[in-house]
Every structure is written in structure tokens, then in C-alpha cells.
Chains A and B, each alone.
Chain A
Amino acid sequence: MNEELREQIRNNLKLKDIYELLEIWRINNRVVWSDTTFEVLREILKEKIREIPLQEKPILEEEEIIQDNHGLKDWEVILLNKESQPELYSPVEVITFGRNVNRLAIAVTVVYILLAFLNSQALQMYLQGTSLSINDITISFPNILTALLYPSLQIAFTYFPLKALSHILRILMEMEFNSRKS
């Protein structure tokens, strides 16, 4: 019976390509795969490659998968824990991309606001020691408005396209995962 089971597992595993097998081996999820599967998998890998790579710490409980999410959203954890991973891109790269966009958005906002403030007429006059009367401020109001509008547009034109790109990539990733064989 045991031999029969091993043979069945062996046949099932042989249907998968080497990358999938290596991924199963590396992730070492003992909740999804039995110990016998890993024994058979080791034999198959021994036949196919010279050196078997090291495994990660075994996942023994379902909770461990969720705990080890490093601030990822639930659906991202599900995608990353799937057995078959894409070959042409890395889902981690897509998730990191979203995070980098958020960081860059903050940097863009801070730098453009500071630059606008630094180049503002009011600051220039203050640095030159010229006092500003209410009349001066009223006269230069269109200039102040333009000075505020320009960095706002710069921030908007940088931030929104990047955010849109980040969302498009996430949607594409979900579509790609949904398109896989169940």
C-alpha cells in the first residue's frame, strides 16, 4: 500500500516541471504536502539535478503562513503561498513596486513643496530683509497662487500616474493568478 502511494505521488509530481518541484521543496509547506511527498520529491530531485537546494524552515501549521506576512495583505499572502509561481515575473517585485511608489509619492510631495517655498517671493523678500505689508501681499496674490499651483500640478502629475500604474499592475497580477490552472 505504502509503495502504491509513493508511486502515485511520484507520478503526480512528475507531471510538474522542475521549477515547480524546486519551489515546493524550497517552501517546505508540511501542511499542504505530506512527509512522504517530500521523501519522494527528494528522490525525484536527486534524479534530475546534481545538488538539491536547502529548504526553508518547515511550515507546520496553517497559522504560520499568515503570521509570516511581513505586512502583506491577505490576498497577497495567498498569491505568494500558491504552489505554482509565475515564470516571467516575480509577484514580490509587484508588491515591492507598490510600496516604492508610496515612498516616492511622499518624497515627491515633500521636495516639491520645499522647493516651492524656497523659491517663493515672500521668502526671498523676507531673506532680503524687506517687510511685507498687507498691500504687498494683496498685489502679489496672483504670484503666490501661481507659485502654489505649479508644485501642486507637479505633485499631481507625478503621484497619480504612478499610483495608477501600481494599481494596474496589481490588477494584472490578480488576472494572471486567476488565469492559472486550478
Chain B
Amino acid sequence: MSENNNLFGKKHATLWRISMWASGMAPVVFFIFGILALWEIVTYGALAHNQYQTDLTSLLSRDFFYIVDLLLKIAQDFINGAVCFLVLKGIALGLDMIVETDINYREKKVEGG
């Protein structure tokens, strides 16, 4: 591909830029979901205070159900983040492959006369 760098046109550059953005945004989105997952602890703390008039540790030690529920909610947020991460990475990879395929065909065409 690199033998004919002039085959890398404006359309390719646009797609490549989008791919770079998607690839760059993927860890950022995952990080945001990570924060949201940790925020679940704060939310649970507020629930313990408002609904049960106790603190988080007391509520969690009261019943095993609450620990499992909190852990699953955190896991759910992390999973949602992982899904978004993979989707963005997948889009980036797909666009890169489309650009590379197109350039390969153009290169063949140029060499074929």
C-alpha cells in the first residue's frame, strides 16, 4: 500500500479521521462508564441513608442480598462500558479495513494500466 501513498485520497483521509476518533474515544467512554459504576456505591449509600436511615456498611452487612445487588449493578455498568468500547473499536477497525481494501484495489488498477 505504501508504494503509492498518493492513492490515499480525501475520502480515505475522512474515514481514517473518523476511525481515529472512534478509536480514541473508546477508552474515554469506558472510563466514563467506570466512573458511573463507582457512582453506584454513592447511590447505594444515599439509598441506605434515605430509606433505611443507616450507612452503607451497615446496610451491606445486614443482608448478603445487598452486597450481591450492588456488585451486579457495578458489573452491569462495567459491561455497558465494555460494550461501548468494543463497538467503537470495531467501527474504527472496520473503517481502517475499508480504506486499506480500497487503496489495494486502486493500487492494482494503477499497476494493471
Question: Known contacts being A172-B101, A176-B97, is A88 close to B16, with CB within 8 Å?
Answer: yes
Q: Which residues of A contact B90 (CB under 8 A)?
A: 97, 162, 165-166, 168-169
Question: Known contacts being A93-B93, A115-B72, is A162 close to B105, with CB within 8 Å?
Answer: no
Q: Within the complex, which residue of A111, A115, A127, A173 is in contact with B97, where a contact is CB–CB below 8 Å? A: A173
* CB pair A179 B79 closer than 8 Å: no
Q: Which residues of A contact B69 (CB under 8 A)?
A: 118
Interface residues on B, range: 20 to 34
Shortest Cβ distance from residue A101 to the other chain B in the assembled complex, whole angstroms: 6
How far is it, in angstroms, between the C-alpha of A137 and the C-alpha of B86 when the chains are bound? 40
How far is it, in angstroms, between the C-alpha of A99 and the C-alpha of B79 when the chains are bound? 15
Q: Within the complex, which residue of A17, A101, A169 is in contact with B3, where a contact is CB–CB below 8 Å? A: A17
* CB pair A100 B86 closer than 8 Å: yes
Chain A 92-105 near chain B by CB (<8 Å), digits 1 or 0: 01100100110010
- Interface flag for B83 (CB, 8 Å): yes
Chain B 81-102 near chain A by CB (<8 Å), digits 1 or 0: 0110011011001101111110
- Interface flag for B68 (CB, 8 Å): yes
Q: Which residues of A contact B (CB under 8 A)?
A: 17, 19, 86-89, 93-94, 97, 100-101, 104, 107-108, 111-112, 114-115, 118, 127, 158, 161-162, 165-166, 168-169, 172-173, 175-176, 179-181
* CB pair A87 B2 closer than 8 Å: yes
The 5 closest A-B pairs by CB, nearest first: A179-B104, A89-B96, A88-B96, A172-B97, A165-B90
Question: Known contacts being A88-B97, A104-B82, is A111 close to B72, with CB within 8 Å?
Answer: yes
